[in-house]
Amino acid sequence: MPAMQTPWNLDSGAFYIPSSSTFVYSVYASSPNDFGLFLFDAYRSVAMESKFMLRALELAKQGGGNVSPNPLVGAVIVKDGRIIGEGFHETYGGLHAERNALLDCRTRGESAAGADIYVTLEPCCHHGKQPPCTDALIEAGLRRVYVGSRDPNPLVSGKGIAILRSHGIEVEEQILREACDAMNVIFFHYIRTGLPFVLLKYAMSLDGKIACSNGASRWITGEQARRHVHETRNRYASIMVGINTVLADDPSLSCRIPGGRNPIRIVCDSGLRIPLHSALVQSASDIRTIIACCEAHSAEKRSALEQRGCEILVCGKAAQVDLAELFRRLGEKQIDSVLLEGGATLAWSALSLGLVNRVHAYIAPKLIGGVAAPSPLGGCGVKNPSDAFRLVKEKLSTLGSDLLLEGDLEVPFLSCGQDPTASQSRTESPSKRPANHSRKEVI
């Protein structure tokens, strides 16, 4: 809502709520005074709902990097307009947000009986590592539950809400739903498809180079952009690179921010060429490291890698790693997200198979030049601009002197020379997007 805009318009009978969505109400009353009072009360009510759900969202974010493959969830308990308890899902296997909020309520010496709770995701109603949250809410005597998103998990989806209502608890849904849905785009994708959510990330100069022609690449972007990358590494379950990146840069692929969590490192290495003295292998006993290869590999090299703590995944019978099979296997291992950092061959392979959901392109205000200088994408490329991959829901931001362009993939490309399929965002209905499993690259 603009700063000078009033929250309601008495002529049109509409008013606006400063939240992620615009709420419009039309009412009729016997007098202008009654009309105005009704609008004020309604505005105040919806604004309060937004306020407490926004606090729940702030809490949910604090679980980033620690709860995978579970969703990020925050909860706030309110009585008489004041917060008497709050919590979030802190660690995988630990208490859920609702139970943490109830625990905080008791710690404060407050009673949740007759109170309202704001929770970003529908309360669970099944036994997992924790008992159902619906049981806890019913036992605590909550009066009303405000829900942001419905849980797409078939074990829950609508059932948690139905159980609460059957016990006389009022349930209001879709409070700041867009913001709550965005909070769990990774979880929603994973629970619906069984595949990890894939973010393709690269840093390049203004002329599209990710390194100089001699291979030098440190650093293309500045400190703020690099910190943002490490914050993303902290949130994502895993990070993936191809063997050429390992041979060229010898990266550690760790998260270098205070209190950060190292992602699982995944290397696509069809022939197990990764050196035993590489930083990844040397630290594999401390940081989980997976190397995907093909059947045609050295048994002796595999044994040496396993002795140093590496996990070996054989994906594909030919001379190239089958990325589609690899991502399926990663999903089975409950790895719900992959930060795809390079290189150009691996990036193109993932794109051409329809595996990439989102792109982060960091752009530095530098010109590098050089015919031989590499670009972010390899492969055969598209034959016409109209066949290009497109981003939707684009967002452009600045990180120091660099730019970050991010967006969701819309048009999947099938293979060299083939037409792309109909336009579709991969974060909205990923289970329906087509993928061409015939194209593989040597990675």
Average pLDDT of the segment spanning 27-35: 37
- Spatial contact of 292 and 267, defined as CB atoms under 8 Å apart: yes
For the chain, the average pLDDT equals 84
pLDDT at 414: 40
CA distance 366 to 401: 10
Dump pLDDT digits (tens) for 145-195.
999 999 999 889 999 999 999 999 999 999 999 999 999 999 999 999 999
Any residues with CB less than 8 A from the CB of 232 and at least 6 apart, and which? 199, 201, 339, 360
pLDDT at 420: 34
Dump pLDDT digits (tens) for 33-50.
443 444 344 445 567 778
Largest CA distance in the chain: 87
Dump pLDDT digits (tens) for 79-91.
999 999 999 999 9
pLDDT at 45: 56
Any residues with CB less than 8 A from the CB of 45 and at least 6 apart, and which? none
Residue 290 has pLDDT above 80, yes or no: yes
Query: Which percentage of the chain shows pLDDT scores above 90?
Result: 73
The structure tokens listed for 154 are 């078939």
Average pLDDT of the segment spanning 381-406: 94
pLDDT at 297: 74
pLDDT at 44: 53
pLDDT at 50: 86
- More confident of the two residues 218 and 146: 146
Any bridge partners for residue 360, and if so which?
A: 201, 406
pLDDT at 46: 63
Three-state SS string across 178-219, please?
A: HHHHHHCHHHHHHHHHCCCEEEEEEEEECCCCCCCCCCCCCC
Residue 6 has pLDDT above 90, yes or no: no
pLDDT at 431: 36
CA distance 321 to 314: 8
- The residues carrying an active-site annotation are 98
Q: What is the pTM of this model?
A: 0.81
Could you tell me how many residues make up the chain? 443
Dump pLDDT digits (tens) for 336-346.
999 999 889 99
- Spatial contact of 199 and 232, defined as CB atoms under 8 Å apart: yes
- Is the torsion defined by CA of 411, 413, 419, 422 positive or negative? negative
Helix (H) or strand (E) holding 261: none
